[in-house]
Amino acid sequence: MFFKRFYDDDLAQASYMVGCQQTGECLVIDPIRDIRQYLDEAQAQRLRVTHVTETHIHADYLSGGRELAEATGARLLLSAEGGPDWQYTYATPKMEQLHHGDSFMVGNVRLDVRHTPGHTPESLSFLLTDTPRGEVPSLYFSGDFVFVGDLGRPDLLDEAAGGQDTRFQGAREMFRSLQEQFLTLPDHVQVWPAHGSGSACGKALGAVPSTTVGYERALSWWAPYVEKGDEQGFMDELLAGQPDAPLYYGRMKTQNRDGVPLLGHMEPLPELSAEEAQARLNAGALLIDTRPKEEYHQAAPAHSVNLPQANKVETWAGWLLRPENHDFVLLAQGAEAAEQLRRRLWMVGLDNVVGYTRSAAELNTRAVPPITPAELGAYAGALILDVRARSEYEAGHIPGARQLHAGRLPWKLDELPRDRTIIVHCQSGARSAAAASLLGSEGFDVLELAGGFEAWQRSHPDDVQKGLETPESQSAQ
């Protein structure tokens, strides 16, 4: 049997290839949209991609399941569980529905299908048995059900997809899935989840790639609750302290359910002269500028958003850019860099990239230097906008600051004043650079607080406030 884990560090997302070397067939589980890596690996291993599947309808990235199945002619095996609201609504000639208790073979490797709702209603897990070695299962692909040291959050449908109190039903289903599915497996079975540390699909995911059923049974935070049958205690702990969910998750989940547009053969991005790029920007396109924030501060192009490339471009692009609002021009040093960036943007559905330009020097730019904490007092009428997570804000914030998580900013622009200066800050300055550039591109009078809350706190240690300060703070969620 062949087995390989593929990992996207930005999305903290894992996909898997399982192959039977005797028959030359292989399966890909939870592929991302850039399918080159799977095609290249299958060719290197002399395997054919004959099966593609997903553990659930994803919210944090666009699935490559349909793309990979179309490119290879593979069978596309998708969940038919979860009720009418969470069925896949698109169809392809080789799409097949999966139900709890089903099994399918990839050569001599058997995958047994388990319905494990909780994170989402339609969630599936796959129990693998390498039949030439016997009938003892060895691997378990848990999707967003069981992570290393944590569980998938059950509140995303409420937080990002327009649900109403679905978190409580999800938490109850998670409890039953653990009781009736996960904890009935042998302790030796290896667990390979769909996410690692850094994903917003849980609150405390481990950094190691895999775990075992026995390890989670013995050491996970949730196991004592399940062992005692304490469903309410389990629900309270599971739902407490979940991180803010970016609002683009709702769009992603709907697109994955209804069918991600196929990319197919993509022509190389055209290089635009400075004049051509500026004309595009003047007509409504947005420049994605991946330079370090220090360079951006010195010469920020008009109609641009600063997403430093080393700082989780895919995640930040999903948080701050809405594909229905703009075409995009990339600032990139050459064709290869532009292509790599375009492929990363595919992961969050930003397909409408119209070209790239190599330099900001000939564009319309201006300096946007941050202000220091000592200068903050000179802006008595400004709105101080805290773009950190709510938990960070509650732990300590600048008096009078309004909290609005950066991942919700594009959907809340109408709630922000255009007749006042907005001073944006985060914890240390990394997030606020991107958030402030978005507000600037949208025409707001915006400044950035250098060094963020940490810098302000060092000079005002006795002025820090805690908790949710005002109803306005809460309404900004």
Task: Quote the CA–CA distance of 426 and 406 in Å, as a whole number.
Answer: 9
Write b or e for each residue in 146-161: b if 16 or more Cβ atoms lie within 10 A of its Cβ, otherwise e. bbbbbbbbbbbbbbbb
Q: Is the dihedral of CA 449, 288, 310, 198 positive or negative?
A: positive
Contacts of 38 by beta carbon, 8 Å cutoff, 6+ apart: 6, 15, 17, 28, 31, 49, 64, 68
From the list 20, 26, 201, 426, the catalytic residue is 426
20 labelled catalytic: no
Amino acid code (one letter) for 228: K
Question: At residue 36, what are phi and psi to the nearest 5 degrees?
Answer: -55, -40
User: Are 148 and 161 contacting, i.e. CB atoms less than 8 angstroms apart?
Assistant: no
User: Are 174 and 224 contacting, i.e. CB atoms less than 8 angstroms apart?
Assistant: no
Question: At residue 371, what are phi and psi to the nearest 5 degrees?
Answer: -95, 155
Q: Are strands 25-29 and 139-143 parallel, antiparallel or unpaired?
A: unpaired
Query: Which of these, 466, 462, 402, 413, lies nearest to 442 by C-alpha position?
Result: 413
280 - beta bridge partners? none
> Which positions are catalytic?
426
